Structure 1
Amino acid sequence: MIEVPPSQRMRDIGVVQRGAEILAVRAEALALPAEREDAEWLVGELFAAMERIATAHDFSGKGMGLAAPQLGLGQAVAVVKPAGTGPIVLINPRITARSDESDEQYEGCLSFFDVRGMVSRPLCVTVETTAQDGSTVSTVYERGPARLVQHEIDHLEGILYTDRMGPGVEPIPVERYRRTGRAWEYQ
């Protein structure tokens, strides 16, 4: 039996793969509350896709995130499910503060799931999002949830994690990455 590569499994589920133009452009903000129905539909689509994705890979160790552009949708909406906590919905997210303290961890991406890459990110971020009623909500995220949120916000800005890797650092094949499915470690 031939094993299907991880990126092909994600493509088969409907996740747009690296090289698609939509992954390199900034997503469009939603005008809430006027576009509330659109926002609700987009969030529903993201949750449905995450359910399909979870059948192909176990994300219980670190959690998972998905941004609308990864489904070929150009709006600024993402959903993050950190390990061990409830989901985070990000509509028109914007990072307003970053901690000076950062760390490096391996990240993966559903849009090129055959590799993992070492990425430095702030350990704490403050993020403003738009609520369904149009109000602004500010939330602080730390450690694992902060990393997941930053990764998805990058997608909404047309940035891939490989763009955040240090000079000369290359992603490694998933076969060489021995910590798949384990939680990120923080001191």
Structure 2
Amino acid sequence: MTQVRPSEQMRDLGVVQRGAPVLAEPARAFDLPAERQAAEQAVERLFSAMERIGQVHPFAKGMGLAAPQIAIGRAAAVVQPPGPGTPPIALLNPRITDSSPDEDEQYEGCLSYFDVRGLVPRPLRITVETTTLEGQTVTTVYERGLARLVHHEIDHLDGLLYTSRMRAGVDPIPVEEYRQTGRAWAYEE
């Protein structure tokens, strides 16, 4: 019996894979509140997909999914922070308005590129503006691992994969060589 590759498993769960045009295009923003129903449907589909994926693969570092990853070219993403009972975050029209000069480099995975993990530098703190379903702008500051998760999803909405953030000369490693599955990202206190 042949083993199913992680990327094939994600494809079977409805996650668009690297190379698909929708992943390379900037997602279209929602006009809120006018497009409230479309935004609600996109977020619902994202949560439904995340639930399916979470039943197949554990995510100790948390998990995120952007609408283009399920073939919806709109500016919506959801992030499930690590830890039991932590409420998920829905991001509509997210935009990073500020980031700390302090960065760290950690391995990331991507559901659309799941056969490898890559060492990605990211700011330790980002400020993100999102739009509510009612059309109001909300500003939130994310730090450390949550900043990394949110930044990764916003990159998807800008048509970027994490590989575009990796340092020159650094290549992703096969998931079989990655040794941090099941562990949260580590940060200095």
| Pair in the same fold by TM > 0.5 | yes
Residue number in structure 2 paired with 1:28: 28
Counterpart residue number, 1:116: 117
Counterpart CA distance in 2 for 1:170 and 1:158 is 20
Q: 1:71 maps to what in 2?
A: 70
| Identity rate, percent | 67
RMSD between superposed Cα atoms in Å: 0.6
Spell out, residue by residue over 1:84-121, the C-alpha distance to the aligned partner (whole angstroms, 9 max, x if none): 22111100000000001110000000001000000000
Partner of 1:40 in structure 2?
40
Q: State the partner residue of 1:176.
A: 177
Unaligned 5+ segments in structure 1 are none
Work out the CA distance in 2 between the residues paired with 1:88 and 1:126.
15
Per-residue CA distance 1:148-172 (angstroms, 9 max, x = gap): 0000000000000000000000000
Equivalent residue, structure 2, for 1:91:
92
Q: How far apart, in 1, do the equivalents of 2:13 and 2:22 lie? A: 17
**Alignment partners' CA distance in 2, 1:86 and 1:5:** 30
Q: What is the match of residue 5 of structure 1?
A: 5
Deviation at 1:180, TM superposition (A): 1.1
Deviations 1:126-179 (A, max 9, x none): 000000100000000000100000000000000000000000000000000011
Q: 1: distance between equivalents of 2:73 and 2:113?
A: 19
**C-alpha distance in 1, partners of 2:182/2:34?**
40
1:51 counterpart SS class: helix
Partner-residue secondary structure (3-state), 1:121: strand
Give every structure 1 segment of 4 or more consecutive aligned residues whose post-TM-superposition deviation is greater than 3 Å.
none
1:137 aligns with 2:138: yes
What one-letter code is carried by the residue in structure 2 that aligns with 1:80? V
Shift of residue 181, structure 1, vs aligned partner: 2.0
- Structure 2 residue runs without a partner (length 5+): none
SS at match of 1:97: strand
| Partner of residue 80, structure 1 | 79
